[in-house]
Structure 1
Amino acid sequence: MGQREMWRLMSRFNAFKRTNTILHHLRMSKHTDAAEEVLLEKKGCTGVITLNRPKFLNALTLNMIRQIYPQLKKWEQDPETFLIIIKGAGGKAFCAGGDIRVISEAEKAKQKIAPVFFREEYMLNNAVGSCQKPYVALIHGITMGGSKIDRDKSFILEEHMDKINSCFSANTVEEIIENLQQDGSSFALEQLKVINKMSPTSLKITLRQLMEGSSKTLQEVLTMEYRLSQACMRGHDFHEGVRAVLIDKDQSPKWKPADLKEVTEEDLNNHFKSLGSSDLKF
């Protein structure tokens, strides 16, 4: 047997072993009795990260981030670690993203954790994105900031793609709204209902973020998002959204400003501008 054929067979064998390991951990991610917010375990040649806050949909805390980051870097350099898996405990959620309620409440209490939290979270995101070992996220259940692509099912928005492309191919939120109004279909009107509930500032930030981010590297995107996170922490709408959805749960946020036309280009530029020496650095 030639060396190339041997290498090919070994690659297939290793891929088979990785698949079996992943399936094994997926079956075991339903429940854990451990009290720690995150579990970091070495099982054979696999490093396993378990997000363990099922009552809070495994939302990330600063403490969890500070445990995961150094362990991820350690496993990345460990010659006896061939695979890294991250999963969520409880069976209901993989991860609901950062625990924004805790962040908002801390900010209101004049505890400035937002700069530290987002800085370290984005440093962890970059470490995941640049990890030199196979890194597998078992995205099962509620997941904020990601998606479970089932290749056996058609894309849920497939039937609407023509309308999405025609209505949302615009350079301003106002143009998108106009396109949806002119379309007039039940799908378009449903999207208008959703958009009209959203923060006008966040709508304009999001569109610009999508447009600028399409040509950026991961590190450039994380730097942009860090700037946005800090600007939003200083503003009104982030905290009002947390109040309306997670604290009072009245689902009736009062946005400031309340109208798209009141969100100026200067407002937008202030969200995206450099933070100078306080910028995110890798």
Structure 2
Amino acid sequence: MTASLYDVTAQAAAASVIRAYSTSFGMATRLLGPRVRGHVRNVYALVRVADEVVDGAAEDAGLPVEAQRTVLDDLEAETLAAMASGFSSNLIVHAFALTARECAITPDHVRPFFASMRTDLERTSHDDASHDDYVYGSAEVVGLMCLQTFVNAGRPGRPVPADETLVTGARRLGAAFQDINFLRDHADDAERLGRDYVGVGDPARRAALLDRIDADLDAAAATVPLLPRDCRAAVATAHGLFASLARRLREAGATDARIRVPNAVKATIAARSAAGIRPRRRLV
């Protein structure tokens, strides 16, 4: 009884994180079936807490870089320990561990993520190779964690591997999301955090990145119909929202303004996805 109440409380804490931090992703997760929805929120909450350690909240509290690194290292260690034991006194970590243990999220997913978070404390600009390494850890593995929940939620003790086509789709969708966010948030990243992930000041590099984003979105769209039925509308909605952002970023050109998708467009994308209309494979 007590353990069950604790589990419920931990997952409620995780759900509160996505409500506070994300309107678009939060809207997409509401379209997930109940089998999966809480697990994806648990993944998001841990990822968001770790991101906050390196993106300003810890610094705003007065922690120097070395202290931020210690906090991040401790969070990783606590996460891995909870995945092994099934318990953490940190509610967000506990919620994530519940999901990891049921859905076969492994340390091979978690360690690259924390490695990328540490990179934010160590370097302020990236070449193509370090960009790709960073995106794999910060975004592609998050897509793989979500895919593990899509495939294995509701199958405790009986996990199955995800189809390789879905693995590729999850990685490419995660990469597209991250690169879109890099372009969208470049002014804030530069001014507040002193970071440049994609060399946005180089018009040729920006154009090449937008082409890569379109290709990743196209590849990911082809895999959405292969997902479990109770996950398709949510993933299609997230895909549609970011595809709209990518198109608007291309149309806007180099700008410091933060590009947004109007609420009415968001609602239309969500409605189309809920109706079973597949995401567009080619952007127009």
Q: TM-score, normalised by structure 2?
A: 0.28
Task: Determine which structure has the larger helix proportion and give its number.
Answer: 2
Task: Determine which structure has the larger strand proportion and give its number.
Answer: 1
- Rg (Cα) greater in structure: 1
